[in-house]
A and B are shown apart, each in its own frame.
Chain A
């Protein structure tokens, strides 16, 4: 059943999902090409690297797709443990860049385990709640193990420091808990505890981490840093107008006014060159992807599949919302990439892997009749 090749897997393959994902990836590559267009020719172009990452990601997607998600769930804690081990390795021997120790270096290739953790946390939580089904809303006591599953990587990621990813882990966890159902009293207690623990945690931070947090909270104190990013990003987006300036013609982009224009601020590049029309199309694609993902969650044959696909879809929804919100200047600037569009190997591979898992759940609703 597990390893035997089932013809139904091909017949019922979720081609729509694959098509949307590939479509968004294609837009992403075009966009990175444009963002790097006027960069010095001396550097190896990022869009080519991104294509290589997509190829690797598709391979991973295929592998994840063909292993029944219930089999994956059986080793969920093992994978989760492995991802934690990677985080510990990073804390000890990780590669540091821009004052943050986030990467494992393989020569010229870098891997960011915190991206991988986003996925393993979802699968581990899905496995836990599948094992501990309850028709009643969960209480805080019952949520002790899930909280543990969250907090170990949360602390490790926060220490790197990587506020954006830590925040995403927290949000994913909260989304899953709210989805599965939590006792309202427990929920209120949790919120209060988090609010109280904030000033306590502040004392454990190092000075430079405090500085960074303060800058994050009030960007105007850092005119050359975040504040500048936001101003330039908004000028870029606004100057795109309704139809945009055209491919490779965004002056903000090509003049290098935009910061991080191939990573966190890719959307500004896109919006400048393709205008509101382009932005609308891209957002519709994302909405379609999200609704499709939620439908998979709805129609899954078991709670495990529902939770996995909900978790993955929620992850993408939040990342898209927070990233674009930050680029548009309505949310504070945190380092959260735009799924499938930001340059970044680890994120791309993990995202495509997640899509493999989503397709996996999707196809099994036709196979698991009993």
Chain B
């Protein structure tokens, strides 16, 4: 190396070599220091520190925050938190997990209880990761584990907050549920969450997760050889999540649930004046508390595979043909376009001929000559076949859109479906086929390709009731800080106008009143003295039936092929306050199966109002400044 020739420029090699020696000396000195320290820690103090690590010592523990409460409009708590006692097993502490499990099972059985952890202990369990044996156990089991700690090495109790859903099934479809973060969710939000975090999986719990969740705390605890905590070394308190007040009325919600329980269907009640959702029921439902004790795979698949789909919120994601409730839209279009006047009559002899096909009216003997009012009151199909044929599918679709059908209502919930309002262009693009006139005939009585959600129907009828305003349905009233200040307030939001003349609105409203209150009206089951209910029945075909009526009515046909019953209404006639949409699946006629459900909700609403139970939520003015900052 010394043989290298001199550098042309730069420092002389002698000088460089001197520096090199100094540097190497310096580096060696530094590393000797490190090695000395390493020797000191590992060899001299090694045994000492080893013991510390084995008995150890200080443990860092995450503390789960309390999720915010969810309340109804009157402050009734719908979702709370409660402590969950979990039985855990630390593999590194126990030598023989299977024997410990056997012992625990024995102890349980002595008291007549079972250990729900029924599989053999996982072979690949990592020694320092606790295995959850049971979640959310009762106090008896806690007592057994605590008193037999010596016989159960490695087994201990951990307390964490879990969600408590009061009247779980009643509100589950929109409240949703929580669960431990999944692999996918974790990968999407590495920054925000860590493994083991609990987050909202569905409904409001998911929609408002970032506000409800709160912030994790942490704790440093000194632990003794048995894993028992001796001393708290330091702590950062968790921060509870914000509380949420919904627009829901818990009483009305319960009544609506009771009216639908045992059936499959949905009920939505809106405040016609601002779009607040007063009740939203989907049946059958599920118990969100199931997820607290760790739902088993069998239970989970059972829920998912249930043909009645208890995990879906039919009010916003159930898409049904609107049936005769759609006649309101066709009537509005016809009046507004000047195709008919209220006096225009068509003759119904029970069927309508187009080409070589015959379209039946639901009343086989026919309605005779009917005008618009009678056609709506008695729900005459033939009348609307005629009107629909004159209007054409695209004009009907335009009015359906004005009523907010076929598009998202914008409700503050995830998983909303938009439904479908077909047009000629849609069919060409989607099915690569041209539109058939016969399809227009089906569309005009709300069958065929038409699909709407119960919430959309409630919004549409609510708009007619309030004189033409489409409100965005809102479920969330406000989010409050833990101290009670308003963090965010959700105000009513106008989404559109029907754009109908006042005269036509009055004509339609009078007809809808007639449906419930006049002789021959299809919705008489919803009649309430004093509150002047107005509405429209509907029956939506699930599959097209052979022409023969007898087959259609035959009880022996597959339950899932029977028609859905619909009823949409609002009340009172003057200054309407509440609009309701009901669907009862596979239940037959709207007038007989759905209208009585609406009637029960209306009873509760107006009786409750009389008793002054249904308070208007008071705005807490003065608690917050304009920016929403908390003030004490």
Please say whether chains A and B are actual partners in one complex.
Answer: yes
A residues with CB within 8 A of B: 37-40, 42-44, 97, 133, 135, 179, 223-224, 228, 231-232, 234-242, 251-252, 254-257, 271, 275-276, 279-280, 283, 286-287, 290-291, 294-295, 297-299, 301-303, 306, 317, 321, 324-325, 328-330, 365
Contact of B7 with A302 in the complex, beta carbons under 8 Å: yes
Q: A239-B53, A317-B27 are in contact. List 8 more A-B contacts (CB 8 A).
A: A42-B186, A224-B218, A232-B58, A238-B49, A239-B52, A251-B92, A256-B60, A257-B60
Contact of B24 with A291 in the complex, beta carbons under 8 Å: yes
CB contact between A238 and one of B35, B45, B58 (< 8 Å): that residue: B45
Contact of A299 with B1 in the complex, beta carbons under 8 Å: yes
5 closest residue pairs by CB, A with B: A238-B49, A303-B10, A239-B53, A223-B234, A239-B50
Contact of A330 with B33 in the complex, beta carbons under 8 Å: yes
Contact of B60 with A241 in the complex, beta carbons under 8 Å: no
Given that A238-B49, A239-B46 are contacting pairs, would A287 and B31 also be in contact in the complex, using a CB cutoff of 8 Å? yes
CB contact between A365 and one of B4, B45, B47, B129 (< 8 Å): that residue: B4
CB contact between B41 and one of A42, A44, A237, A251 (< 8 Å): that residue: A237
**A98 CB to nearest B CB, Å:** 9
**Interface of chain B residues 17 through 31 with chain A (CB within 8 A):** 17, 19-20, 23-24, 27-28, 30-31
CB contact between B42 and one of A39, A232, A251, A271 (< 8 Å): that residue: A271
Interface status of B369 (Cβ within 8 A of chain A): no
Given that A235-B49, A294-B24 are contacting pairs, would A257 and B56 also be in contact in the complex, using a CB cutoff of 8 Å? yes
Q: Which residues of A contact B37 (CB under 8 A)?
A: 325, 328-330
**Interface of chain B residues 44 through 91 with chain A (CB within 8 A):** 45-50, 52-54, 56-60
Q: Which residue of B lies closest to A222 (CB)?
A: B234
Given that A44-B187, A228-B60, A237-B42 are contacting pairs, would A251 and B7 also be in contact in the complex, using a CB cutoff of 8 Å? no
Q: Which residues of A contact B1 (CB under 8 A)?
A: 295, 298-299
B residues with CB within 8 A of A: 1, 4, 7-11, 16-17, 19-20, 23-24, 27-28, 30-31, 33-35, 37-39, 41-43, 45-50, 52-54, 56-60, 92, 126-129, 182-183, 186-187, 191, 195-196, 218, 220, 233-236
Once the chains are docked, how many angstroms separate the CA of A332 from the CA of B284? 62
Once the chains are docked, how many angstroms separate the CA of A321 from the CA of B60? 28
CB contact between B58 and one of A228, A240, A291, A321 (< 8 Å): that residue: A228
Q: Which residues of A contact B11 (CB under 8 A)?
A: 135, 303, 306
Once the chains are docked, how many angstroms separate the CA of A271 from the CA of B56? 18
* A-B CB contact pairs (8 Å), 12 listed: A40-B196, A223-B233, A224-B236, A231-B58, A238-B49, A239-B50, A255-B59, A271-B38, A295-B1, A303-B10, A325-B34, A330-B37
Contact of A291 with B9 in the complex, beta carbons under 8 Å: no
Contact of B46 with A302 in the complex, beta carbons under 8 Å: no
Once the chains are docked, how many angstroms separate the CA of A290 from the CA of B20? 12
Contact of A234 with B195 in the complex, beta carbons under 8 Å: no
Once the chains are docked, how many angstroms separate the CA of A241 from the CA of B16? 41
Contact of B10 with A38 in the complex, beta carbons under 8 Å: no
Contact of B34 with A328 in the complex, beta carbons under 8 Å: yes
CB contact between B57 and one of A39, A235, A271 (< 8 Å): that residue: A235
Contact of A242 with B46 in the complex, beta carbons under 8 Å: yes
Main secondary structure of the interface of A (DSSP, over half): helix
Contact of A299 with B4 in the complex, beta carbons under 8 Å: yes
Contact of B9 with A280 in the complex, beta carbons under 8 Å: no
Given that A294-B23, A299-B4, A321-B30 are contacting pairs, would A279 and B38 also be in contact in the complex, using a CB cutoff of 8 Å? yes
Contact of A37 with B27 in the complex, beta carbons under 8 Å: no
Once the chains are docked, how many angstroms separate the CA of A311 from the CA of B57? 43
Given that A238-B50, A302-B8 are contacting pairs, would A287 and B27 also be in contact in the complex, using a CB cutoff of 8 Å? yes
Once the chains are docked, how many angstroms separate the CA of A271 from the CA of B50? 12
Once the chains are docked, how many angstroms separate the CA of A72 from the CA of B183? 45
Q: Which residues of B contact A133 (CB under 8 A)?
A: 9-10
Q: Which residues of B contact A228 (CB under 8 A)?
A: 58, 60, 220, 234
Q: Which residues of A contact B126 (CB under 8 A)?
A: 37-38, 254
Contact of B53 with A236 in the complex, beta carbons under 8 Å: yes
Q: Which residues of B contact A251 (CB under 8 A)?
A: 53-54, 56, 92, 128
Contact of B27 with A279 in the complex, beta carbons under 8 Å: no
Once the chains are docked, how many angstroms separate the CA of A43 from the CA of B194? 10
Given that A42-B195, A276-B43 are contacting pairs, would A239 and B220 also be in contact in the complex, using a CB cutoff of 8 Å? no
**B169 CB to nearest A CB, Å:** 31
Once the chains are docked, how many angstroms separate the CA of A256 from the CA of B54? 13
Contact of A235 with B52 in the complex, beta carbons under 8 Å: yes
CB contact between B27 and one of A43, A242, A291 (< 8 Å): that residue: A291
Contact of A42 with B38 in the complex, beta carbons under 8 Å: no
**A367 CB to nearest B CB, Å:** 13
Once the chains are docked, how many angstroms separate the CA of A224 from the CA of B186? 25
**B584 CB to nearest A CB, Å:** 42
Contact of B52 with A283 in the complex, beta carbons under 8 Å: no
Once the chains are docked, how many angstroms separate the CA of A219 from the CA of B194? 25
Contact of B129 with A179 in the complex, beta carbons under 8 Å: no
Contact of B42 with A279 in the complex, beta carbons under 8 Å: yes
Q: Which residues of B contact A298 (CB under 8 A)?
A: 1, 16-17, 20
Q: Which residues of A contact B195 (CB under 8 A)?
A: 39-40, 42-43
Given that A228-B58, A257-B56, A279-B42 are contacting pairs, would A302 and B49 also be in contact in the complex, using a CB cutoff of 8 Å? no
